[in-house]
Amino acid sequence: MASIKLILRNDKVGKTGEAPLYLRLIKDRKTKFISLGVRLQPNEWDEDKQRVKKNHSNSARINALLAQKVAEAEGQVADLERKKSQPSAKKLKEAIKGKAATNFFEYSYARCEKQKTTLSPATYRNYVKYLNKFETFMGTKEVYFEDINVTTLKDYANHCSKNLNNNNTTIHYSLTILSIMFKEAQREDIIPVTLYPFDKFRVKKEKGKRNYLSKDQLEALIALEVPQTGKAQVCKDMFLFSVYGGGLRFGDMVELQWKNFNAADNRITKVIRKTGRQHSFKLGSLAIEILNKYKTDNNQPEDFIFPLLEYSDQYFKDNFFRTRETERHNALCNFHLNNFGKTLELPFSLSFHLSRHTFATRALNNGMRIEHVSKLMDHSGIGITQVYAKIINEELDKAVDEYIG
């Protein structure tokens, strides 16, 4: 006869001081543990009464869930023991979990590895990072899709906020990765479409403020003398080129080659890394002036325009190498730009992406049609560009309040 009991695994206490609650199954002196997706502080569990104490804010709801789980497990065990005289502990566990039950972490990590070559390196790393974060919270890999319910998500979000000091945007992405795994498992018919707790609990992203350089701030940056040793001047020129050259992202700026530039009509043509779309646009005189600083008689078509990276065949053939090099040099540029910002006493941290924001707000302020700005920035739709138009309207409102009253 198999025995079933609820056990708080105090040997698996996480950094938060919470321990996972398991359904323990003992058959013929062999023990199997089944995760319930519940984590508690040791002082919140009554071992004798097999109940969550009232000092837990969700004690009533969790106790109802536990009672249901125990009843279902006892029913499955009794049913199997009637059908089979001596079922093993493993068979009993399978019966309780259900043969179709799929381990969430085994599936999710395997999916990441399967799609490693099709995902961008940064996306792959983020998936694994957020899965590791959730695994640390759960305290075990023995977690099935069915174990992850609304209570689990709420507890996880609360943990991210209170114990990890994550903001809403970070919590939103932490949950989004989990929801992606659920959606993929549903598409593969591994779990039913009804098994999706994310419809009942969401954390909205915070609305981030898009900083940009005003006209005076931009002119101050242009006039700023920077060290000619190292890469400080190159980083400054790249930032200004982006401001005057369509707001190119760092990943596209750093790998601009001379073959991307058509001197006959002053046009840049390049496949954008983020979208995979070919993008072509004409450069203005200020952007051309910056390019000419780096033009020599010895330039080869494959050479990078801005001497930050060194060209190698590996760069475009090895996606992980390409991403790593981009991130490393982006950090270098942001280091220099942040120092420039401190020197200029800017009220925000200056990073390369602000060149993109500055381009958009300058273009709209100077009267460029929003659909043209959207096209130059290679946005998928005009709705994305309208964020910048809203910024300008807000600035206009402030000006009216300040100067007109």
Spatial distance between the Cα atoms of 231 and 250, rounded to a whole number of angstroms: 15
For the chain, the domains span 3-97, 104-199, 215-403
179 by DSSP, 3-state: which? helix
Question: Which tokens go with 245?
Answer: 């050259």
Under DSSP, the state recorded for 126 is H
Task: Give Cα 292 to chain centroid, integer Å.
Answer: 38
Question: Which tokens go with 218?
Answer: 């931009």
Question: Which tokens go with 63?
Answer: 């106790």
Which contacts (CB < 8 Å, 24+ apart) does range 171-175 have?
171/203, 172/202, 172/203, 172/204, 172/205, 173/126, 173/130, 174/130, 174/133, 174/134, 175/202, 175/203
**Helix (H), strand (E) at residue 155:** helix 150-162
| Nearest of 142, 140, 150 to residue 179 by alpha carbon | 150
Spatial distance between the Cα atoms of 282 and 103, rounded to a whole number of angstroms: 53
pLDDT at 190: 85
pLDDT at 363: 83
Give domain 215-403's CATH number out of 1.10.443.10, 1.10.3210.10, 3.40.47.10, 3.90.1150.10. Answer: 1.10.443.10
> pTM of the entire structure?
0.59
Distances (CA, A) of 257 to 45, 109, 393: 63, 37, 37
Task: Write the CATH number of the domain with boundaries 104-199.
Answer: 1.10.150
Spatial distance between the Cα atoms of 50 and 202, rounded to a whole number of angstroms: 31
Contact between 172 and 203 under an 8 Å Cβ cutoff? The reply is yes
pLDDT at 243: 93
The sheet with strand 261-262 has its strands ordered as 261-262, 267-271, 278-282
21 by DSSP, 3-state: which? strand
**Helix (H), strand (E) at residue 160:** helix 150-162
Between helix 232-244 and helix 354-365 the angle, nearest 10°, is 30
Question: Which tokens go with 365?
Answer: 């302020």
The residues, ordered by sequence, that sit 6+ positions from 349 with a Cβ below 8 Å of its Cβ are 338, 341
| Nearest of 143, 31, 6, 23 to residue 89 by alpha carbon | 31
Spatial distance between the Cα atoms of 339 and 318, rounded to a whole number of angstroms: 32
Spatial distance between the Cα atoms of 405 and 395, rounded to a whole number of angstroms: 14
pLDDT at 403: 44
Contact between 268 and 257 under an 8 Å Cβ cutoff? The reply is no
Q: Find tokens 């179709």 and name the residue.
A: 100
| Nearest of 100, 95, 91, 52 to residue 74 by alpha carbon | 95
Domain 215-403 in the same topology as domain 104-199: no
In the Cβ-directed half-sphere of 247, how many Cα atoms lie within 13 Å? Answer: 23
| Sequential pLDDT tens for the chain (405 residues) | 788 899 999 888 877 888 888 888 888 888 888 888 788 999 999 999 999 999 988 888 888 888 888 888 888 788 777 766 676 767 677 667 655 468 899 999 999 999 887 777 778 889 999 999 999 998 888 788 888 999 899 999 999 999 999 888 899 999 999 999 999 999 988 888 888 999 888 887 766 667 889 999 999 999 999 988 789 999 999 999 999 988 888 999 999 999 999 999 999 999 988 888 888 888 989 999 999 999 998 889 999 999 988 777 788 888 888 888 888 899 999 999 999 999 999 999 999 999 988 988 888 887 888 777 777 777 767 766 677 666 555 555 554 454 454
**Helix (H), strand (E) at residue 20:** strand 19-27
Q: Find tokens 């999710």 and name the residue.
A: 108
The residues, ordered by sequence, that sit 6+ positions from 53 with a Cβ below 8 Å of its Cβ are 43, 44, 45, 46, 59
Length of the chain equals: 405
Spatial distance between the Cα atoms of 368 and 188, rounded to a whole number of angstroms: 47
Q: What angle do CA 18, 21, 22 make, to 5 degrees?
A: 150
